[in-house]
Amino acid sequence: MPASATSPRIAIASDHAAYDMKAALTIWLRDEGHDVVDLGPHDTARVDYPDYGYALATAITEGRAETGVALCGSGVGISIAINRHPAMRCALVTDGLTARLAREHNDANVVALGARLIGIETAKDCITQFLGTDFAGGRHADRVVKLSSPPHAKDAA
């Protein structure tokens, strides 16, 4: 997965439960030629995943990164934190196919992984598929717009 001159800057963040996987993925991504912004944590001391999810969302919305990789024990908590921001489309994935479809159909800008649920090789496959897939647009485009601007409850019924 060698990076091209147009590859996105990748922000990566985790909690303490996923620190080891984050450290390994950061090294791997850099070895592959990607520009990686490591938002922490930088050791295994206990931290709160929402803080790191919000930091990743902020890095993307401020333009310090174009895409992100988020990790926690299950991937659930940090993905919820990131998705609190209306510009974020964070997809929790468990395999390469879901990672590819998250980009292709949902224009996901962050991929979330559960370090206690998948191994490093599966994580690498998910990231490879995520980074290597373009948004399909077309019939999916209107749906993606709705993700950032949901209708009022009465309008959805």
Which amino acid, one-letter code, is at 137? G
Q: Is 112 helix (H, G, I), strand (E, B) or coil?
A: strand
85 is catalytic: no
Which CATH class, in words, describes the domain spanning 10-156?
Answer: alpha beta
Q: What is the mean pLDDT of the chain?
A: 92
Q: What is the pTM for the complete model shown?
A: 0.91
Extract the tokens encoding 41: 């944590």
140 is catalytic: no
Which amino acid, one-letter code, is at 144? V
Reported confidence tier of residue 16, pLDDT bands at 50, 70, 90:
very high
What integer pLDDT is reported at residue 147 of this predicted model? Answer: 83
Catalytic residue among 16, 72, 90, 126: 72
Instruction: Work out whether strand 110-114 and strand 10-14 pair parallel, antiparallel, or are unpaired.
Output: unpaired
Reported confidence tier of residue 126, pLDDT bands at 50, 70, 90:
very high
Query: Can you state the angle between helices 49-61 and 76-83, rounded to 10 degrees?
Result: 40
